[in-house]
Amino acid sequence: MFKKILIANRGEIALRVQRACREMGIASVAVHSTADADAMHVRLADESVCIGPPAARDSYLNIPAILSAAAITGADAIHPGYGFLSENASFAEIVEAHGIAFIGPTSQHITMMGDKIAAKDAMRRLGVPLVPGSDGALANLAEAAEVAERIQYPVLIKAAAGGGGRGMKVAHHAGELAEAWQVARTEAKAAFGNDAVYMEKYLDKPRHIEMQVMADSYGNVVHFGERDCSLQRRHQKVLEEAGSPALNAAQRDALGETVTKALSQLGYRNAGTLEFLYQDEQFAFIEMNTRLQVEHPVTELVCNVDLVREQIRIAAGEPLGYDQSTVTFSGHAIEVRVNAEDPETFIPNPGLITTFHAPGGLGVRVDSALYGGYKVPPFYDSMIAKLIVHAPDRAQAIARMRRAIDEFAVIGVKTTLPLHRRILDDPTFQSGDYTIHWLEKFVAGEA
Ligand code: ADP
């Protein structure tokens, strides 16, 4: 087992990984920018190293600085968390080339899944159902028009290198295609330095359902069921749950079998998530994330598993040690992402947290690096906490989340907690019957 793990991240996920390390008796190294010198992940770490100025490109994305920190502290593994360098294949490769274990998949699989066109090709070959669309990148607008006629409008132009909902534009009819084509490519070039785009049928009423998978280095693959992330704003997840209110156990098992078979054929290793759109009883693969995801706690609660511990064990060469039959699902879990944002305009609102009081009680988990007196810096993602609840069924989980939100005091900055409270009070949310488009309408006062 590893002796010391460097955590190449910040905020709640750095703490999350640190907690797993401590329980496993592994020392951890925190890295931080100058803006994060007082951050909780630094305060609680066994050791910490400053890796640069506030801007992420100079610190949390600064590969030489992170490698030097690992060398200086003698870390034998690096956990990348999510975001930052977690899906950077060359980072994974450089880390391993330095004789340090990368806690994640191989760089080849990161590269493959980071290119959504290559990912879809691979999944097609492995027999995973896809959203209808172009076979690979679109050469020009004329080809885009041809594919759109074939698959029928509305269509979505998506960036091959896409992420975070960027580089994605809908054309509802032929008259909108040229602009969608242009805007998607410009956005993709600006955000990812790559303007390759492809096309998918734009589904009008899908749910977002994803499968959590874990694989060891010996060909053993299990899934930990699905998460439903249909509540989204600007293609970004806002609230997630496990299991999906739209699926039954038989559907989960069937999808789980498809994805575990595919990943075992692929020789995949460590944690991964396959994302699907689900509409008219059909699943259609959209992308695979080759890292731990923000919403992993809902899975941990219903499966009673520590996914970070599993990631670390696998990276250290241990076998899974169990098979699918021992993975069980119990109750229902919901997570809300608490952002330091105005709950109506969504404008980020960093600043000083004057009071912080986390909710507690049965089935309540708070993953956050906040504390009273902490100043949320303006340089990074606005998510400041994840509030997660677990209860015997969905109705009780909703009741528990409502009361946990009422207990939660984050004073000093505006947060999205009031929005979450409104969502949880809404009959449509409570019914479980909504699509990925519902929240946008709800926020606009149209639902
Ligand atoms: P990103 O990597 O940028 O997050 P994804 O491919 O994962 O992009 O898609 C993000 C979200 O965008 C999905 O969860 C879904 O809400 C929406 N989306 C993606 N593809 C489609 C599609 N073909 N039809 C309708 N909505 C889609």
274-325: per-residue pLDDT in tens? 999 999 999 999 999 999 999 999 999 999 999 999 999 999 999 999 999 9
The predicted structure's pLDDT at residue 62:
98
Q: Residues 163, 226: one domain?
A: no
The predicted model gives 378-401 an average pLDDT of 98
The predicted structure's pLDDT at residue 165:
86
Q: Closest ligand 1 atom to the C-alpha of 202?
A: 24
Q: Is 287 in the pocket of ligand 1 (CB under 6 A)?
A: yes
> Residue 93 falls within a domain, yes or no?
no
Burial of 369 (0-12, 13-18, 19+ CB in 10 A): buried
CB 193 within 8 A of CB 243: no
pLDDT of residue 447 exceeding 90 = no
Q: Shortest CA distance to 65 belongs to which of 108, 28, 109, 32?
A: 32
**Cα–Cα distance, 436 to 446 (Å, whole number):** 15
**Cα–Cα distance, 412 to 405 (Å, whole number):** 16
Q: Shortest CA distance to 130 belongs to which of 286, 290, 289, 288?
A: 286
Look-up of token digits 């250290």: 316
> Residue 125 falls within a domain, yes or no?
no
Look at the chain and report how many structural domains it folds into.
3
Q: What are phi and psi of 112, to 5 degrees?
A: -60, -50
Beta-bridge mates of residue 239: 231, 336
**Cα–Cα distance, 288 to 10 (Å, whole number):** 23
Of the three residues 88, 120, 147, the one that is the final residue of a domain is 88
pLDDT of residue 22 exceeding 90 = yes
Q: Is 154 in the pocket of ligand 1 (CB under 6 A)?
A: no
CATH of the domain at 382: 3.30.470.20
CB 246 within 8 A of CB 229: no
The predicted structure's pLDDT at residue 216:
98
> Residue 184 falls within a domain, yes or no?
yes
pLDDT of residue 64 exceeding 90 = yes
> Residue 81 falls within a domain, yes or no?
yes
Q: Is 293 in the pocket of ligand 1 (CB under 6 A)?
A: no
pTM here? 0.97
CATH of the domain at 71: 3.40.50.20
Q: Residues 31, 67: one domain?
A: yes
Within 249-400, strands assigned E span 270-279, 282-289, 332-339, 351-352, 355-357, 364-368, 375-376, 383-391
Tell me the CA–centroid distance for residue 235 and ligand 1, in Å.
6
CB 195 within 8 A of CB 189: yes
Domain that holds residue 143: 132-201
Q: Residues 196, 217: one domain?
A: no
Q: Residues 162, 182: one domain?
A: yes
Q: Residues 277, 315: one domain?
A: yes
Q: Residues 145, 66: one domain?
A: no
DSSP alpha helix (H) spans, 232-332: 249-266, 296-303, 307-315
In one letter, which amino acid is 326? T
Q: Is 164 in the pocket of ligand 1 (CB under 6 A)?
A: yes
Of the three residues 26, 58, 88, the one that is the final residue of a domain is 88
Q: Is 155 in the pocket of ligand 1 (CB under 6 A)?
A: no
**Cα–Cα distance, 363 to 2 (Å, whole number):** 31
Beta-bridge mates of residue 169: 157
> Residue 100 falls within a domain, yes or no?
no
**Cα–Cα distance, 422 to 410 (Å, whole number):** 17
Token duo for residue 444: 């606009």
Which residues are the active-site residues?
Answer: 291
Q: Shortest CA distance to 184 belongs to which of 198, 164, 202?
A: 198
The predicted structure's pLDDT at residue 376:
97
Q: Residues 367, 278: one domain?
A: yes
> Residue 108 falls within a domain, yes or no?
no
**Cα–Cα distance, 327 to 145 (Å, whole number):** 46
Q: Does the ipTM surpass 0.95?
A: yes
Q: Shortest CA distance to 229 belongs to which of 204, 215, 212?
A: 212
Q: Residues 67, 213: one domain?
A: no
> Residue 115 falls within a domain, yes or no?
no
Tell me the best of 86, 115, 277 to mutate to test the pocket of ligand 1, counting ligand atoms within 8 Å of each CB and taking the most: 277
Q: How confident is the model at residue 164 (pLDDT cuts 50, 70, 90)?
A: confident
Q: Residues 153, 275: one domain?
A: no
CATH of the domain at 180: 3.30.1490.20
Question: If you take atom 10 of ligand 1, which residue's CA is the nearest one?
Answer: 235
pLDDT digits (tens, 9 = 90+) for 351-380: 999 999 999 999 999 999 999 999 999 999
Q: State the angle between helix axes of 307-315 and 296-303 in degrees (0 to 180), rounded to the nearest 10.
A: 100
Token duo for residue 130: 């896809």
> Residue 233 falls within a domain, yes or no?
yes
Q: Residues 240, 326: one domain?
A: yes
Question: If you take atom 11 of ligand 1, which residue's CA is the nearest one?
Answer: 235
Q: Is 87 in the pocket of ligand 1 (CB under 6 A)?
A: no
pLDDT of residue 115 exceeding 90 = yes
Q: Per residue in 310-320, is it b (16+ CB within 10 Å) or e — as a string?
A: bbbbbbbeeeb
- Bridge-based pairing of strands 270-279 and 364-368 is unpaired
Tell me the best of 436, 437, 441 to mutate to test the pocket of ligand 1, counting ligand atoms within 8 Å of each CB and taking the most: 436
Token duo for residue 159: 């960036």
Burial of 333 (0-12, 13-18, 19+ CB in 10 A): buried
Q: What are the CA-CA distances from residue 125 to residues 210, 272, 273, 356 (Å)? A: 19, 18, 18, 50
- H/E element, 119: helix 116-125
Of the three residues 176, 201, 226, the one that is the final residue of a domain is 201
Q: Residues 170, 266: one domain?
A: no
**Cα–Cα distance, 360 to 23 (Å, whole number):** 21
DSSP alpha helix (H) spans, 220-336: 249-266, 296-303, 307-315
Token duo for residue 379: 């340089």
Q: Residues 211, 164: one domain?
A: no
The predicted structure's pLDDT at residue 361:
98
**Cα–Cα distance, 40 to 363 (Å, whole number):** 24
CB 12 within 8 A of CB 367: yes
**Cα–Cα distance, 164 to 178 (Å, whole number):** 23
CA angle (333 as vertex; 282, 331 as ends), nearest 5: 90
Token duo for residue 75: 């870390």
The predicted structure's pLDDT at residue 351:
97
